[in-house]
Structures are given as C-alpha cells and as structure tokens.
Amino acid sequence: MNLKLLMVLIFGCLLLNACAGTATQNANQTDGGKSAGAKIENNVNAATVNSAENIEIKTYSNQTETNEAQTKQPRTVRDFFNLLPEKYFPLEGCEPQKDVNCERARREYVKNFLEVEDTANGFWKSGCDGAQTCLQMALFKRPDATYIVAVQTLNETEETNYFLEYKGGKWFDISAQVIPDFSDKNIYELPRKGTTVKVFKKNFPEPEYSERGAKIYDLEWKDGKFVRQK
C-alpha cells in the first residue's frame, strides 16, 4: 500500500467519525426537543386540569351558597311572606315561567296592598281587591327557635286558615297536627298582639259562604303548643 492510498483511508475514517458524532448530537438535540415539548405539553395539560378543577370548585361553592341561602331558616314575618308559595297564597298576575317565586308580583302586591308589617310581634296584614286574595300571617315561636306560621286568606267567597311549617326549604301543612280539633269549617282569628287565637264557627247558608258565626273557644299558645280553652 502506497502512502497516498494510506492517507486517503485515514482521511475517510476521520470523516466518517465526524459524521457519526454530528448525527448522534443531532439525535440527542432532537430527543431533548421532544422532552421539552412533552414537558411544555404536560405543563399546559396540568394548567388546563387545574383550571378546570378550580372552575368546578368555584361552581360547586356557588351552588352550595345558593342552596344554603334557599334553605336558611327565615326569622321575620317578611322573610316568611317572601317564601310563601301560591298554594297557600295566590298572587294575581304571577307568571311562574317568567317570574321566579312570583317575586315581581310579590313586590307589586306589597306596594299596593300592605297594611301592617309588625316585625316585633310577628304579624302581617295585607289587603286585596276583586281578583286578589287578602292575607294575614302570625308567627308562633317554639322553644327550639323554629316557627309555626299561621296563614289566613280571604277572598270574595271564602276565608281559609293554614298552620304551616317551613323546614329544609319546603313548606308543610301541619294544621291537623298542631291545632286541637282543627276544622276547615272553623275560622281562626290571628292575633297581632299576644298569642291567643280566637276560634269561630263558619256560617254555611251557602256551600262556600264563610261569614263568622259565634265564637266557640280560644287556643292558647303555651310551651310551644296550642291548648284549647273554653
């Protein structure tokens, strides 16, 4: 082998090693880029997940606050009035699909018909006209700080009484459970002051006529219960 050929072979080997080193370096750089990209992608995904979790937590928190607000125990006669459903007190002009909880109609009714709002004594009286029912309410506080809400409605043909309880965001008619000998043929006169409910017999010259007849007895509120007194 002559010197010239030997030099060509040595130069070729050196060239091949340089190319191999460059390829390896490029490969390493490429892998590093993928890793960095993967890290960036993972960071983005993590940020997205965290953001979604935060949104979910905030949504849950807001929903919880809304539920707590809805189920919070009312304390004043205005509180109970604002929650009173149409089942017990129909509001003229309320459109439930457009007016949630009849709030607009309720505000209009208060503006036009409120006569007495006695917060200290837990008493409410509001008037009516042709199509709109009148309303009276009286609160009776139990020893455990819950309330019986006495409701009396009056329209052109009938006077009706309910004794209600608001619990867990829902209303319950407990008239038969808390009023001795409760009857829809009686009228229960709600007191503004004191705790005595006067009970009158309805006159029935017509099926729906409810003019008051003679007084038949009193109901005294004692130790969280109504007790009949002659």
pLDDT in tens, 161-219: 999 999 999 999 999 999 999 999 999 999 999 999 999 998 866 555 567 888 999 99
9 pLDDT more than 60: no
Mean pLDDT along residues 36-55 = 42
pLDDT at 62: 38
- Please report the beta strands in 69-196, taking only residues with DSSP state E, as ranges in sequence order: 114-118, 123-126, 134-141, 147-154, 159-167, 170-173, 186-189
121: how many CB neighbours lie within 10 A of its CB? 15
Give the integer Cα–Cα distance in Å for 86 and 78. 16
Question: Checking DSSP bridges between strand 212-222 and strand 170-173, what pairing results, if any?
Answer: unpaired
Residue 83 located in a structural domain:
yes
Nearest to 82 by CA among 117, 120, 115, 54: 117
Mean pLDDT along residues 54-82 = 61
Give the integer Cα–Cα distance in Å for 3 and 77. 115
Residue 188 located in a structural domain:
yes
Residue 56 located in a structural domain:
no
pLDDT at 73: 83
Residue 177 located in a structural domain:
yes
Residue 5 located in a structural domain:
no
Percent of the chain with pLDDT over 90: 53
pLDDT at 93: 86
pLDDT at 21: 47
60 pLDDT more than 60: no
pLDDT at 71: 56
Residue 46 located in a structural domain:
no
Nearest to 182 by CA among 207, 150, 211: 150
Q: For the full predicted model, state whether its pTM sits above 0.85.
A: no
Q: How many domains does the chain have?
A: 1
pLDDT at 98: 86
Give the integer Cα–Cα distance in Å for 26 and 185. 97
Residue 186 located in a structural domain:
yes
Total residues found in the chain within this entry? 230
User: Could you tell me which residues come within 8 angstroms of residue 23 by beta carbon, excluding any fewer than 6 positions away?
Assistant: none
Phi, psi of 188 (to 5 degrees): -110, 110
Range of the domain at 178: 77-229
Residue 183 located in a structural domain:
yes
The residue to which tokens 């699909």 are assigned: 97
Give the integer Cα–Cα distance in Å for 22 and 30. 12
pLDDT at 46: 45
